[in-house]
Amino acid sequence: MNLLMCPVCRQPLSLTDRTWRCDNKHSYDVAKQGYVNLHVVQHKHSKNPGDTPESVQARRAFLSAGHYAPLQQAVVEKIRSLRIENLLDIGCGEGYYTNAMQAEVLQCVGVDIAKNAVQVAAKLNKDVTWVVGTGATLPVLDKSIDLCTSLFSPIPKAEILRVLKPEAYLMVVTPGPQHLFAMREALFEEVKVHEPQKFVEQLKDVFELVSEDVVDAAMCLNQSDLKHLIAMTPYAYKAKPERRQALEQQDQFPLNAQYQIYLFQKK
């Protein structure tokens, strides 16, 4: 079963000879890297939306070193327990988590607004349907998805409700209160604690909270990994340059990652 929807006329897309087409003859070619761009110009608010190439490369380098593997494993185990068929990863980025999720489902779609991130992701796993697209109009058919995942990404509530089947699931991963606290203390004079519970409040009218888990992972980062971590976060441009430079001088930096995993079910 095809899951993709034409972003112009909202009709189903079908794939023939590396081109996705709808009945209204809108067509979208699969790029040589293996992804399809369904982020049409009328939905764009900037020329190159999403993460910068520098941020994408930093994230690929950092995640490839295995520092967030405990989160990847926890997410995969949760998906395995659900025994579902169709998964949509919203904000898939360069594909680190989506690549691992794919093995647990029949069909996996990864969508991100940043074309340079999807280009990198598409080289990871040819069994994922990689899509450049926007959460404002998810390029996926109504009531076609068993599980939407959003890991450190926006949660387009109305669109998620549209694409999910009845009683299907939404998994949200967000920083826990203590996530990267020591790094944030080094970068900023005032550090606000993350408030993951706000997502439960935002979603409780249409989703039932099924489970919540906290994953803690201690790390000790060398200078290279620390630079990659800073570069892949918004802290890279929010912190004062002198504070960032001082932190990047550290040869070894102990740090705790804390992830909050929420699983919701559509009411």
Query: How many Å is the maximal CA-CA distance in the chain?
Result: 58
Question: 6 among the known binding-site residues?
Answer: yes
179 is in an annotated binding site: yes
Is there a binding annotation on residue 77? no
CATH architecture of 37-266: 3-Layer(aba) Sandwich (3.40)
Round to whole Å and give the CA distance between 54 and 228. 10
Q: Are 100 and 72 in contact (CB under 8 A)?
A: yes
| Residue 228 annotated as lining a ligand binding site | no
Strand-strand pairing, 207-222 and 252-266: antiparallel
Structural domain boundaries in the chain: 37-266
Annotated ligand binding at 108? The verdict is: no
- Do 174 and 196 touch, CB atoms closer than 8 A? yes
Which pLDDT score is estimated for 227? 97
pLDDT for 48: 62
The reply to whether 9 sits in an annotated binding site is yes
Q: What is the mean pLDDT of each run of 10 residues along the chain (267 residues)?
A: 94 97 98 95 59 92 97 98 98 98 98 96 97 96 98 97 98 97 96 93 97 97 97 90 95 97 98
* pTM of the predicted model as reported, rounded to 2 decimal places: 0.95
User: How would you label 162-188 residue by residue, b for 16+ Cβ within 10 Å and e otherwise?
Assistant: bbbbeebbbbbbbbbeebbbebbebbe
